[in-house]
Amino acid sequence: MLTRLPKSTFMPLLFAAGLWVATPQPSAAADKAMALADPPPQPAMLSHEEKMKWFREAKFGLFIHWGLYALPAGEWKGQPVPGIGEWIMNRAQIPVKEYEQLAKKFKPVKFNAEQWVQMAEDAGMKYIVITSKHHDGFAMYHSQVSKYNIHDATPFHRDPIAELAQACAKHHIRFGFYYSQAQDWHEPNGAGNTWDFGADDQKDFDQYLRTKAEPQVKELLSFYGPVCLIWFDTPRMMTKERGQRFVDIVQSLQPACLIDGRLGTAGDYTSTGDNAIPEVNKEGDWETPATINHTWGFKKDDQDWKSPGEITFKLVDIISKGGNYLLNVGPTSQGIIPQASQDNLRAVGRWLKVNGDAVYGAGRSPFTDEYGEYSSHLKDRTNNPIFLARTDWRCTTKPGKLYFTIFKTPRGGFDLPAFKSFIRKVYFLSDPKQTELHIEAVNGIRVVQLPRNLPDAMANVIVVEIEGEQVEL
Ligand code: JFZ
């Protein structure tokens, strides 16, 4: 029904009421005029704390790297190209004129927004971040700013981003965009393409920012409903002033939209290196972007998938250190999320259905013992001591509760780390009856008595209810 409403009249109202759903764009110049003249009315300015609320609750998001690079899938002219799949244009130094030809063959007829979003929901993920434009410069949405986009330049003639926005709204999954603001290998003045256009420092970078990146970010914030975050990346040549121009655009169009840590000026949270999980607790709001195999964009010869157990450990590990986990899939040029990614993510989702209380909205561990320690004698290549991580258990918290997720079943029982708080009750999170587990004090250590066979082969959460909201150490 919403799709039939004349947007210009009703969209602002619906948007304000939180009911606005993106409609696949009719290819009309009128839309462009509207983008510039008639943005949705602005919700009131939010404090940083208010803005971060959903992010701190969500914890687990789906990253999607999807673009023309899914067609070569890691191979160019019969040769495998080493490295991450979405970098193939750069790695193989493919001229723009040649790479552009991929668009004519990009027809992902099996793409189904509903199925992708359903998979994220099944996996227990609360937000989706998709590449609206990666470094190759190709817009995966119907842009009026550049014809080099999936609607105008491919035989597909659809706007998958609009379709995903609609499906996300239906499933109450938040939706955000990756946007490569600095590198754009398609544009003479964008950063990164030295093989066609020469050295970056000879380019009129601001000309590119003003005529492509900034107006495209405006489009993304104007036509696709509420955007939970924009994930800027690789801030080459991004001065603070240039970064600020994007901050201003985001704040003027969607003040609730978060900015990641790779814009070039401070965002709302920090992004770790790719696949990098801090060794111990890390202050502030942060997110680890991570691959499920070894590439972001689809590569046909990378079939080395992280298992449900590994993903679950990383998720709980990250949350215990205060972060969010943004885990990537790389759909094929047909529009299919590789089956192994789907299967492994759904297995994590089944675990989360039972154990989600230890994850969503959960805070950091108050302890430190569980993470491991720096080796006294082993050094890395830069002569720094190597961190020897322990992976037996992780702790996450909520007021009055400690959740111990146990990955390695201990013999005898589970030794609680030292804390002073009185314990009210201990039970398995998976047990709807909350049958009490007994505690025995052994040499001043409180040991939770466990059955010989734990209920879940992957990981078991013990809830320790304590007196007071915060644990007393
Ligand atoms: C960037 C992109 O170049 C890559 O294609 C992918 O989109 C990834 C999510 O982000 O790559 C980076 C950026 C930053 C770091 C590593 C890889 N880093 O800070 O370690």
Higher pLDDT, 136 or 32: 136
- Above 70 in pLDDT, residue 6? no
**Amino acid of residue 137:** G
Which atom of ligand 1 is nearest the CA belonging to 297? Answer: 5
- Above 60 in pLDDT, residue 23? no
pLDDT bin (cut points 50, 70, 90) of residue 31 is very low
Is residue 40 within 8 Å of residue 12, measured between CB atoms?
yes
Beta-carbon-side half-sphere exposure of residue 392 (alpha carbons within 13 Å) = 14
The confidence score (pLDDT) of residue 412 equals 85
Mutational test site, ligand 1, from 178, 262, 274, max ligand atoms within 8 Å of CB: 274
Distance CA 283, CA 285 (A): 7
User: Ligand 1 within 6 A of 287 CB?
Assistant: no
pLDDT bin (cut points 50, 70, 90) of residue 41 is low
How many helical (H) and strand (E) elements, i.e. helices and strands, does the chain have? 15, 19
Which residue's alpha carbon is at the smallest distance from atom 18 of ligand 1? 273
User: Ligand 1 within 6 A of 289 CB?
Assistant: yes
Polymer length of the chain: 473
pTM, two decimal places: 0.92
Section 421-446 average pLDDT: 97
Is residue 346 within 8 Å of residue 396, measured between CB atoms?
no
Residue of 352, 327, 249, 288 lying closest to 39 (CA atoms): 249
Which atom of ligand 1 is nearest the CA belonging to 134? Answer: 7
User: Ligand 1 within 6 A of 136 CB?
Assistant: no
Q: What digits encode the pLDDT tens for the residues 254-309?
A: 999 999 999 999 999 999 999 999 999 999 999 999 999 999 999 999 999 999 99
Q: Which domains does the chain have, with CATH numbers?
A: 7-358 (3.20.20.80), 372-466 (2.60.40.1180)
Backbone φ and ψ for 379, nearest 5 degrees, come out as -120, 150
The confidence score (pLDDT) of residue 363 equals 98
The confidence score (pLDDT) of residue 45 equals 80
User: Ligand 1 within 6 A of 225 CB?
Assistant: no
Q: What digits encode the pLDDT tens for the residues 113-134?
A: 999 999 999 999 999 999 999 9
Which residue's alpha carbon is at the smallest distance from atom 13 of ligand 1? 234
- Which runs of E-coded beta strand occur in 70-113? 75-76, 79-80
Which atom of ligand 1 is nearest the CA belonging to 183? Answer: 3
- Above 70 in pLDDT, residue 39? no
Mutational test site, ligand 1, from 66, 91, 181, 233, max ligand atoms within 8 Å of CB: 233
CA 406 to chain centre: 25
Ordered strands of the 413-415 beta sheet:
413-415, 445-449, 439-442
Q: What digits encode the pLDDT tens for the residues 208-262?
A: 999 999 999 999 999 999 999 999 999 999 999 999 999 999 999 999 999 999 9
The confidence score (pLDDT) of residue 280 equals 92
The confidence score (pLDDT) of residue 246 equals 98
Q: Left if phi > 0, otherwise alpha if psi is -120 to 50, otherwise beta: which for 282?
A: beta
pLDDT bin (cut points 50, 70, 90) of residue 42 is low
- Above 90 in pLDDT, residue 380? yes
| DSSP code at position 72 | T
Backbone φ and ψ for 71, nearest 5 degrees, come out as -70, -60
